[in-house]
Structure 1
Amino acid sequence: MSDTLTLAGVSLESRFFLGTAGYPSPAVLVDAIQASGAQVLTVGLKRTLQAGDNGALAQAMAAGTAQGARLLPNTAGCRSAREAVQLAHMARELYGTAWIKLEVIGDDHTLQPDPFELVAAAAELAREGFVVFPYCTEDLILGRRLLDAGCPLLMPWGAPIGSGQGLLNLHGLRTLRERLPDTVLVIDAGLGAPSQAARAMELGFDAVLLNSAVAQAGDPVAMAGAFGDAVSAGRRAFRAGLMAPQAFAVASTPVSGHAFLLGDA
């Protein structure tokens, strides 16, 4: 049975989105993309513009798109709605896509999104024809405001960016999934292990986006493959239907009465 994910009219076979920053080399990035099976690649425009020689990175990105991946520029590093909107317009011109991962950071220590600037930027970009992928917290009310602003999906964090702590607020994430059953939800940021990605998918989230856990691994290519497998396994488990946890033991092969042997009269 097909289980494609449709985003803004685009059908994706993979539910693993991969970031492209911090790899040991462009060649390793290309191999990691291939191993991951990812069809959405994020790229930071500020990082690209600040790089002295980004020709190698451009070649790596071209190799990724040649494998069928779609670019998702982001506004990483922006601190205000105005700055994020300006950067989004530059990204659309440079990469030729209306897709934008919207990041507006409100705290330098946690890199937590600024909810007020985020909603303001999302509303303006949606009016201007962008497909806005907002990086947000698991706050339900913020999520609703972003959807009302025109975002077609939400990208709540699992934990602070690059922390590798996994899913810190399971209650909040479950609430978001339960209260927004028809909204595409992508866990974005904070995952450090494939098991955490599988857990997110088992909760019913639609996809996972990460960067540091792969780029900073001892073997990024192998780790990319591991995360790709975990995302796929978690999704299959969710669709199959997980057993409900119990507060007591339940024998898998229950018997009653006295012990017996097969063949007894």
Structure 2
Amino acid sequence: MSDPMVIAGRSFNSRLIIGTGKFKDYEENAAALEASGADMVTVAIRRVNLDQPDAPLLTDSIDPKTTTYLPNTAGCFTGEDAVRTLRLARELGGWNLVKLEVLSDVHLYPDMAETLASLKLLVADGFDVMVYCTDDPVYCQKLQDAGAAAIMPLAAPIGSGLGLLNPTNIRLVREAVTVPVIVDAGLGTASEAAAAMELGVDGIIANSAIAGAKDPIRMARAFKYAVIAGREAYLAGRIERKQYAVPSSPTSGMIE
């Protein structure tokens, strides 16, 4: 806990958040969670069984008492649906820290107008809202001003695995807001998570990259160390880029 990730007053040991979708079963999901070292998981309320006792329950494999559940609005295409879904989540599990995403039918990109409007409703209703969004630094400022607890810009389209397409914009988002910035969606492998962390973001969400890997458990472990390495590199500070070679050893005072 020497360098915790703090969101809405809550401290998290890990800066990696993993998902609960696309795994072959809840047991594999739980094993990936353990390998990742994460202490928070995203839960798509509209897609995951939480309260049907005759069916497998996520809570049987991942204990919400020891792992923070982050209910999200995956599958919502209107702000009205998103707000209703999160209100139901709070009634169901008492969850107040939530992830808001309102998608469009254009490659599942966030509908930012609907996102901003529903964020305002949720904040007024007492939620702590982490917001999935585009990598537009101006809109990210608007989300912060509206009360977002964390800004979650995409690296690439959801599930695409294309990696960090626009590192410049992610850096600009980091500079534009003071709340935590967590890169969400589109990463394909661990090195891309490290690269994002080196930009100074506070954390990473990974679902498809882990669950869709040939070995999800090993990939979860890779993401764990990539996020740690990226954070350490950012805090250490990289050397300045130079146009020409600079010797590692001094060239003066050499033995002739």
TM-score by length of 1: 0.91
1:174 matches 2:171: yes
Aligned to 1:198: 194
Q: Where does the alignment leave 5 or more consecutive residues of structure 1 unmatched?
A: none
Aligned to 2:225: 229
Q: Which amino acid aligns with 2:33?
A: I
Cα 1:95–1:51 shift into 2, 3 Å: closer
Report how far residue 57 of structure 1 moved: 2.7
Report how far residue 79 of structure 1 moved: 0.8
Report how far residue 146 of structure 1 moved: 0.9
SS in 2 for 1:184: coil
Cα 1:73–1:149 shift into 2, 3 Å: same
Pair member with larger Rg: 1
SS in 2 for 1:245: coil
Count how many residue pairs are aligned between Structure 1 and Structure 2. Answer: 255
Give every structure 1 segment of 4 or more consecutive aligned residues whose post-TM-superposition deviation is greater than 3 Å.
49-54
Report how far residue 249 of structure 1 moved: 1.4
Q: Which amino acid aligns with 1:247?
A: Q
Q: Which moved more, 1:28-37 or 1:40-49?
A: 40-49
Which of 122, 126, 136 does residue 125 from structure 1 map onto? 122
The answer as to whether partners of 2:18 and 2:38 remain within 8 angstroms in 1 is: yes
SS in 1 for 2:62: helix
Cα 1:94–1:61 shift into 2, 3 Å: farther
**Identical-residue share of aligned pairs (%):** 43
Report how far residue 50 of structure 1 moved: 10
C-alpha separation in 2, matches of 1:31 and 1:41: 13
SS in 1 for 2:47: helix
Q: Where does the alignment leave 5 or more consecutive residues of structure 2 unmatched?
A: none
RMSD between superposed Cα atoms in Å: 1.9
The answer as to whether partners of 1:107 and 1:113 remain within 8 angstroms in 2 is: no
Report how far residue 100 of structure 1 moved: 1.2
C-alpha separation in 1, matches of 2:6 and 2:51: 33
Report how far residue 7 of structure 1 moved: 1.0
SS in 2 for 1:76: coil
Report how far residue 112 of structure 1 moved: 0.5
C-alpha separation in 1, matches of 2:24 and 2:104: 29
Cα 1:225–1:79 shift into 2, 3 Å: same
Report how far residue 40 of structure 1 moved: 1.0
Which of 109, 117, 141 does residue 144 from structure 1 map onto? 141
Matches within 5 A, 1:93-132: 93-108=91-106, 110-132=107-129
The answer as to whether partners of 2:41 and 2:68 remain within 8 angstroms in 1 is: yes
C-alpha separation in 2, matches of 1:41 and 1:240: 28
Instruction: Return the structure number with greater helix share.
Output: 1
TM-score by length of 2: 0.94
SS in 1 for 2:46: helix
Report how far residue 51 of structure 1 moved: 11
The answer as to whether partners of 2:4 and 2:14 remain within 8 angstroms in 1 is: yes
1:46 matches 2:46: yes
Aligned to 2:209: 213
SS in 2 for 1:11: strand
Cα 1:183–1:247 shift into 2, 3 Å: farther
Aligned to 2:86: 88
Report how far residue 256 of structure 1 moved: 3.8
